[in-house]
A and B are shown apart, each in its own frame.
Chain A
């Protein structure tokens, strides 16, 4: 039987996206286990159930990524809405 292995990652939600997990503190990350070939888009829409259009800047381990990117073990994921300023 084919069994998908699960990997652990952490996720942070910032600015307006915090409304999707209001119990999280500012910049607090949550650990979750996901199947090891999960993409960022699947993580967002299927697992976290956050509409993809709400996210403009996905960051994995400090680098901005595309939503098609697959997750690896221990990835630190952070999602941001459209941002600007300075």
Chain B
């Protein structure tokens, strides 16, 4: 009998139409928690990491956490795990909304989708009944139309995850959109769904989730609710302005990367800030399943060339489509953000790729003839046009649709790719936040902020303040309270944005009565470490080495202007200290004793192969 977990994994093979159900391995659940950890462990069982990412051998795994759908605060999350089409690393993209909980209500901890269908299909899951159905009529549709059509075809309350035209056309920046506007965005997971010709998954679940100790669970849940609603961040600036509350602050610190990371201060930040969104386009807040924070913004541009409606832009989106492209027109940024939602493409990679193209254009490496129009920094109309072309893979958009790493390489300027392991960096300058520099370089899915957002410590003081420029002890800070901790939180099913109000202790206080398994603080630290190391081993086996733990040369050069002029990312000596703290050798490989300590010794041979 399982509690918290449903105990069942659904396996669907799109090549032969076979649908089967498997029991969850309890030991595996205890070791890898759920969500990101469990789905990554399942992936390692399914494939050799050396396979081609866009191939029928690469499964798409949708995972939920033991807390997903339980109704405790912010228990909304699901993850998508596979070998990443954009990067070739392990991918784990995460999203909220209502889709994840619905998978649990239908009776599944995870869905493993394997093979490839010859024709467009969608998956219809109504509790234990599962069908693969034709989706020709849905192909080409935006997520909003897909969702309303599917709710007519299946059940009015069905929850939908789907790809947009970006995923259908295998854009390596495409994600998977659920509940209309939420998106598991990064690493190109949408392209794999498109390759499988799987337009959507519709789920209707009518079951509940068994809890091991209901009374204790709801006590812990009430306690967490009180902490969140009593917290000045979660229930203050973050609720009032969402993630974009940070725009002016990060810019004030001279840490807001601008024009493809040429500088760290943007003169137009105020126009595209959270305050401007609230004054000009905000309609109301929206919450994910059971979330008291409701950080999501429903917005509308009512008239003019950039008319549109949707969710966001979030902090990273307003930055990538704004400052990074030198664009300070909020309506244009909002429109580009809506278009990314319609096409189902990642706003960060999309903005970063356009910014890279702008620099290539201004430096003469790319011509107007190739693009079809001039693409200068600050040209908002050209930026919006480029987003559309990426979504449609139209004209030059066909080249842009595969991200900035491939773009910069193709035009002979690999140094203009601003990321690590083929994934573009996000909106915190690594020249200023030394913790983020190390995090971007070592993150298992490439340069990403949500694998260990050290800005919490380097600015807000959570869990404790460490000034951004300080180097001492940053390796340990990146490793444990950020990377390992985030791996654990992402595996539980609870939203990472609760972290300002709560710690692992509160999450464990929910997990134990939910599952009947003893979760505690010390074990959670080991679980996070285990998940991180598993992901690292996947990447090593896929061919990555210590040489890939690096940042673009540009951010090691001094920041040219702004309040932090002269600051630069310093990585060199820190990597070795970081490897050592992780129990890795000088080549960044987990040592046999480290793997044994974490129960990952089956991976020894992978280490040896690289000797």
Q: Do A and B come from one complex?
A: yes
Q: What is A's interface to B at a CB cutoff of 8 Å?
A: 12, 14-16, 18, 25-28, 56-57, 59, 61-64, 76, 78, 80-86
Contacts of B467 in A (CB 8 A): 63-64
Say yes or no: B249 contacts A16, CB within 8 Å.
no
Say yes or no: A85 contacts B246, CB within 8 Å.
yes
Most buried by B among A59, A82, A85: A85
**Given A57-B460, A81-B232, A83-B233, A26 contacting B252 (CB threshold 8 A):** no
Say yes or no: A15 contacts B275, CB within 8 Å.
yes
> Does B383 reach chain A (CB closer than 8 Å)?
no
Say yes or no: B273 contacts A83, CB within 8 Å.
no
User: Nearest A residue to B295 by beta-carbon distance?
Assistant: A85
What sequence of 0s and 1s flags, for each residue 232-253 of chain B, a beta carbon within 8 Å of any chain A beta carbon? Answer: 1110111011111110110011
**Given A14-B249, A57-B460, A84 contacting B500 (CB threshold 8 A):** yes
> Does B453 reach chain A (CB closer than 8 Å)?
yes
Say yes or no: B459 contacts A64, CB within 8 Å.
yes
Contacts of A82 in B (CB 8 A): 232-233, 236-237, 460
Say yes or no: A27 contacts B273, CB within 8 Å.
yes
Say yes or no: A26 contacts B275, CB within 8 Å.
yes
With both chains docked as a complex, state the minimum distance between the C-beta of A26 and any C-beta of chain B, in angstroms. 4
User: Nearest B residue to A59 by beta-carbon distance?
Assistant: B252
Contact pick for A83, options B246, B453, B497, B499, CB 8 Å: B246
| Across the A-B interface, the 10 shortest Cβ-Cβ residue pairs | A62-B563, A27-B270, A84-B233, A82-B232, A84-B500, A85-B243, A26-B275, A62-B254, A82-B233, A26-B270
> Does B462 reach chain A (CB closer than 8 Å)?
yes
What sequence of 0s and 1s flags, for each residue 560-578 of chain B, a beta carbon within 8 Å of any chain A beta carbon? Answer: 0011100000000000000
> Does B368 reach chain A (CB closer than 8 Å)?
no
Summarize B's interface: helix, strand, loop or mixed. Answer: helix
Q: Report the tally of A-B residue pairs with Cβ distances under 8 A.
A: 103
Q: A62-B563, A86-B316 are known contacts; what are 8 more A-B pairs with Cβ within 8 Å?
A: A14-B248, A15-B241, A16-B237, A57-B249, A84-B456, A85-B237, A85-B246, A86-B428
Q: What is B's interface to A at a CB cutoff of 8 Å?
A: 232-234, 236-238, 240-246, 248-249, 252-254, 269-271, 273-276, 279, 295, 315-316, 428, 449-450, 453, 455-456, 459-460, 462, 465, 467, 497, 499-500, 562-564
The docked-state distance in angstroms from the alpha carbon of A69 to that of B241 is 29
Say yes or no: A12 contacts B315, CB within 8 Å.
no
Say yes or no: B232 contacts A86, CB within 8 Å.
no
Contacts of B450 in A (CB 8 A): 86
The docked-state distance in angstroms from the alpha carbon of A66 to that of B167 is 49
The docked-state distance in angstroms from the alpha carbon of A15 to that of B274 is 8
Would you give 11 A-B contacts (Cβ < 8 Å), ordered by A? A16-B236, A26-B273, A57-B459, A59-B249, A78-B249, A78-B252, A81-B237, A82-B232, A83-B459, A84-B234, A85-B238
With both chains docked as a complex, state the minimum distance between the C-beta of B597 and any C-beta of chain A, in angstroms. 32
Contacts of B563 in A (CB 8 A): 61-63, 76
The docked-state distance in angstroms from the alpha carbon of A39 to that of B537 is 52
The docked-state distance in angstroms from the alpha carbon of A56 to that of B500 is 14
**Given A15-B240, A64-B467, A80-B249, A56 contacting B315 (CB threshold 8 A):** no
With both chains docked as a complex, state the minimum distance between the C-beta of B491 and any C-beta of chain A, in angstroms. 19
Contacts of B273 in A (CB 8 A): 26-27
Contacts of A76 in B (CB 8 A): 563
The docked-state distance in angstroms from the alpha carbon of A56 to that of B465 is 12
Contacts of B249 in A (CB 8 A): 14, 57, 59, 78, 80, 83
The docked-state distance in angstroms from the alpha carbon of A86 to that of B452 is 11
With both chains docked as a complex, state the minimum distance between the C-beta of B396 and any C-beta of chain A, in angstroms. 32
Contacts of A78 in B (CB 8 A): 249, 252
Say yes or no: B270 contacts A85, CB within 8 Å.
no
Contacts of A26 in B (CB 8 A): 248, 270-271, 273, 275-276, 279
User: Nearest A residue to B458 by beta-carbon distance?
Assistant: A64
Contact pick for A85, options B245, B254, B279, CB 8 Å: B245
Contacts of B455 in A (CB 8 A): 86
The docked-state distance in angstroms from the alpha carbon of A61 to that of B562 is 9
Most buried by A among B275, B279, B562, B564: B275
**Given A15-B240, A59-B252, A83 contacting B275 (CB threshold 8 A):** no
